[in-house]
Amino acid sequence: MKKLIMISLGKGTAINLSMQLEKVFGKYTTIIPYGMDEKFDFDIENSLAVISSPGLIDMGSQLKNLINEGLDYIIARRVINHNYISELLNLPRGTKVLLVNDREDTANASIRQLQALGIDYIDYFPFFPGIKSYPKRDIAVTV
């Protein structure tokens, strides 16, 4: 089987996502995490890249060049971890929370997913690295 190459904006996120992939695919293949600021030194012939967000393709010429050279890849679609949903369900209607994620688009996507699951009675405010301003809240939710 090909190696799975987890590519994310930051190395920390790539490591965390790789650990999740490891639980499912670890006995079948090797999973290697990369942040966008790293040199991609893997063999594209024997690799399948899992890209954490579609916006990453346009962020760096290194990744775009590998795709143009024939890198097999899929775009990951992250979903909410249902193991911790009960904590959100216990929040009162109208509770104001920061929804923390690694990028603006993934923070907003997480908010949409939670609302689609019916947890639409909470007031979510996206928070991500580089945000210029945000409302101060007592509760932060990470997904």
Q: Is 131 left (phi over 0), alpha (psi -120 to 50) or beta?
A: beta
- The DSSP symbol for 44 reads G
pTM as predicted: 0.71
For residue 51, the SS3 value is strand
pLDDT of residue 8: 94
pLDDT, mean of residues 13-19: 93
For the ranges 40-49, 82-91, 92-101, which has the lowest average pLDDT? 82-91
Task: Specify the pLDDT at position 85.
Answer: 85
Question: Is 16 within 8 Å of 35 (Cβ atoms)?
Answer: no
Task: Taking residues 80-85, report their average pLDDT.
Answer: 78
Question: What is the arithmetic mean of pLDDT over 39-62?
Answer: 92
Question: How far is Cα of residue 110 from the mean position of the Cα atoms in its chain?
Answer: 10
